[in-house]
Amino acid sequence: MQRRKLRLALALAGATTLLATIVPATPAAAANATFQAGTLNIYNGLTQAQFVNDLELITSKADLVGLNEVNARKDFLQTWAANNGWWFYAPGPSQAENEALLAKKSMFDVLDKGSDFICDTNGPGDVPPARYNNWVKYRHKASGRVVFHLNFHANASIEDNGHPVDIPRTQCAEQQFQAIKDLAGRKKDEGQVIVSGDLNVDFSADRAVGYAKFPWQVFEANQLPNLRSIYNLYGEKGTGTHGNRHIDYIYFWKRVEDFQLMWMTDYRIITGTNSDHNGVVADFAIDIIT
């Protein structure tokens, strides 16, 4: 009986060894944490009640939030953030205050922040304000990783079905797109990079035309590493973020696979806003430092 059991044990051990040589071991999945990043251009003509509704809608669905057109409500946003457990950054002058950044204090620590002046088309007539790219450097508490959030708003009326409109504010927007690309390229050496904002260029039209100084060519139509948008990775959901146009974006700096520490895993368009824009929220997974 004992010899029979021994022979059976040896046979099973041999079979297990043979199976291990045929079927490679499955590598252990990297431990990661998750969070959401959102963006919303809240129309500056809303009533206070409408504004608060939109603010609470987007902040209920994301942990990092970029806002546009909010400089007139900076004081309110500072108080709201302090009372609700959020970091808030919207630096002067007033034109830069339009592009605010929010982050949940329970999930992020602030390490650094800054604002870059890009261009100003002010002159005779009705013209848009000067443009700034604002950014905050955070430490994501659950993973220990550094995450940069860059937020901006390009000039309106710069695109006609993917083609640039030949006016000064289009040239300003072209400068801003390249400046965001350059800023993301500098920050990616310090941590993971997310970019949000109203770009005022429709994704489908931009990709179809491929104008060299618009977002598709500057950010996406080239090899990695580079910025990649929600629409590039997961398609254009819904009917649009501003009418039938997909002009509100979230990007992240996508690296070659061996060096990727953060991934965009999905996104959704947030409807039900009072603003003339829908919001966007993207899901992220990030490796935990061990």
CATH number at residue 267: 3.60.10.10
Secondary structure of residue 23 in the 3-state scheme: coil
Confidence at residue 20, expressed as pLDDT on a 0 to 100 scale: 34
Q: Is residue 16 part of a domain?
A: no
Q: Is 10 inside a domain boundary?
A: no
Residue 209 tokens read as: 């035309």
Per-residue confidence (pLDDT) for residue 127, from 0 to 100: 60
For the four alpha carbons of 62, 64, 68 and 71, in that order, the dihedral sign comes to positive
Whether 22 maps to a domain, the answer reads no
Q: Is 111 exposed, middle or buried (0-12, 13-18, 19+ CB in 10 A)?
A: middle
In the prediction, which pLDDT does 3 show?
A: 45
In Å, the largest CA–CA distance within the chain is 102
Strand pairing category for 86-89 and 279-287: unpaired
Beta strands in 204-278 (DSSP E): 226-229, 248-254, 262-270
Beta carbons of 54 and 270 less than 8 angstroms apart: no
Q: Is 136 exposed, middle or buried (0-12, 13-18, 19+ CB in 10 A)?
A: buried
| Cβ 56 vs Cβ 103: under 8 Å | no
- Chain centre distance of CA 226: 13
Write down the pLDDT at residue 272: 98
pLDDT value of position 21:
32
Collapsed DSSP state (helix, strand, coil) of residue 79:
helix
SS3 state of residue 24: coil
17 inside domain: no
Residue range of the domain that includes 45: 35-287
251, part of any domain: yes
Residue 18 within any structural domain of the chain: no
Give dist(CA 2, CA 13) in Å, integer: 17
Q: What is the per-residue pLDDT for 130? A: 93
Type of residue at 196 = S
Considering its fold, how many domains does the chain have in total?
A: 1
Let me know if residue 6 belongs to a domain.
Answer: no
pLDDT digits over 93-130, tens only?
A: 999 999 999 999 999 999 999 999 999 987 544 467 89
The answer to whether 54 touches 278, Cβ cutoff 8 Å, is no
CA nearest neighbour of 88 among 76, 98, 101 = 101
| Residues in the chain where the model's pLDDT stays below 70 | 1-30, 123-127
DSSP of 26-68, one letter per residue? Answer: PPPPPPEEEEEEEEEE--TTS-HHHHHHHHHHHHTT-SEEEEE
The angle at the Cα of 39, spanning 37 to 42, to the nearest 5 degrees, equals: 150
Length of the chain as a residue count: 290
Nearest to 248 by CA among 197, 184, 187: 197
Q: Which two tokens stand for residue 192?
A: 């993971």
> Does residue 192 belong to any structural domain of this protein?
yes
